[in-house]
Amino acid sequence: MMFRTVESKLLNKPVPAPVQTEFAQHEFERLHRFCLMIFAAGAGIWLVFDLLLSFTGARGFTVNSTLNLALLSALTVAVAFVRRAQQFQVISFAFVAAFCVSARLVLDRTPDATRPIWSMLVAASVLFCASSLPLSNRAFFGVVALAWVLLFPAMTVQDLLELKGILILCYTLYFTGITVYTFVRLRRAKLQNFVMAKTLLQQAYVDALTEIPNRRAFMLNVGNLVPRATEEQDHYLAMVDVDDFKKVNDRYGHDIGDEVLKHVAAGIKLVMGDCQYARLGGEEFGIYLKGMTRAEVEIRIGLLCRSIRDAASEPPVTISIGVTHLVSGDTLTKALIKADEALYDSKRTGKDKYTFHQEPCQPEGSP
């Protein structure tokens, strides 16, 4: 019941243009190899078609055939290097244009009696292959129009009134209609699935209140980084806690408490934008600093303390931070425990400061 409610709400909302662009790029990246295979198959089909009709007509493989094959092959190779969906749309249109023009040149050399049949087969093949590609609606409609303009058999009004012409016209309308309808419906279904998946992933891995990653996302992302932490490449884990947060809730109410959490999250996002960070739960946040020296970490952590303290807010907000240096053999769980112990030391010795774990010989920093 809950799934259907969420699904219905999402499907009734218009999809923003940026999300549609993101979907198009995702679909192209996911089907990139398949697109390359379709282009290669298209070039191969054209070669067989040209050879079949050319040698049947005793004309052989001409210079134009060689040039057309080279152009189709070049466009196929170009697909292997394309990384943007918009560029792929252009190449797809160019490939269809080259395929149809070269096919038309071959068809013009075939007998009049068989030409309409060959034209229909080639056009239908083009539309079927195009319908399997990650094209936009506009690009696909352009391909459909281009295919029929270039490949539809040359027929007079009298031809269209005869049985053969009526059958060809009906087949054209039927095949085009069912192909376009299927393409549009499937593409819409894929877009809706993408929106659903994106929304559910955001709900699963993004904290709804602060709009930054949540504990689940942090454990997943940082969990993949911790095993690679070594003494040669410094990794640090920091835990952040809002000072006297319970008193804020008790005195000002939970709405103000929520604003305090948003304020702290915004500061972390601003200062630690190039790091992994998340709201771990309650008033605690986690930050993973990779590839920084201790001095660089101190500067960054000190800046975070000052930015939270100095930013205008009511009530005033300060934070305490515990930091630990990861060494080989540390797990994320161990690192969180050490950072939490350092955080406790910051709380115990005055708050509004940061403390490094188990480094008594090093002077503890204060912003």
What is the set of domains in the chain, with CATH numbers? 2-203 (no CATH), 215-356 (3.30.70.270)
155 has a pLDDT exceeding 70: no
d(CA 102, CA 73): 13
Structure tokens at 162: 């005869």
Q: How far apart are CA 331 and CA 334, in angstroms?
A: 5
What residues are paired with 236 via a beta bridge?
A: 289, 325
Q: How would residue 223 be classed by pLDDT, with cut points 50, 70 and 90?
A: confident
Residue with tokens 């027929």: 155
Least confident residue range of 37-51, 132-146, 155-169: 155-169
Mean pLDDT for 80-106 is 91
- Residue 345 is predicted with a pLDDT of 93
DSSP 150-186: HHS----HHHHHSHHHHHHHHHHHHHHHHHHHHHHHH
How high is the pLDDT of residue 113? 76
CA distance 156 to 168: 13
Picking from 6-20, 162-176, 267-281, which range would have the lowest pLDDT averaged per residue?
6-20
Question: How far does the chain reach from its first CA to its final CA, in angstroms?
Answer: 52
> Taking a C-beta distance cutoff of 8 angstroms, is the pair 213, 206 a contact?
yes
Predicted pLDDT at 218: 93
Residues pairing with 103 in the sheet: none
The answer to whether residues 141 and 94 touch, using CB atoms and an 8 Å cutoff, is no
Q: For residue 211, what pLDDT band results from cuts at 50, 70 and 90?
A: very high
Helix count and strand count (H, E) for the chain: 14, 5
pLDDT at residue number 328: 76
User: Cα-flanking dihedrals φ and ψ of residue 241, to 5°?
Assistant: -135, 135
Q: Among 115-119, 276-280, 333-337, whose mean pLDDT is lowest?
A: 115-119
Q: What is the pLDDT of residue 6?
A: 65
Q: What is the mean pLDDT of residues 17-44?
A: 93
Q: How many CA atoms lie within 13 A of 193 on its CB side?
A: 9
Give the pLDDT confidence score for residue 229 in this predicted structure: 62
Task: Give the integer Cα–Cα distance in Å for 367 and 354.
Answer: 8
Type of residue found at 115: R
Report the alpha-carbon distance of residue 138 to residue 20 in Å, rounded: 13
Question: CA 168, CA 177: separation in Å to the nearest integer?
Answer: 14
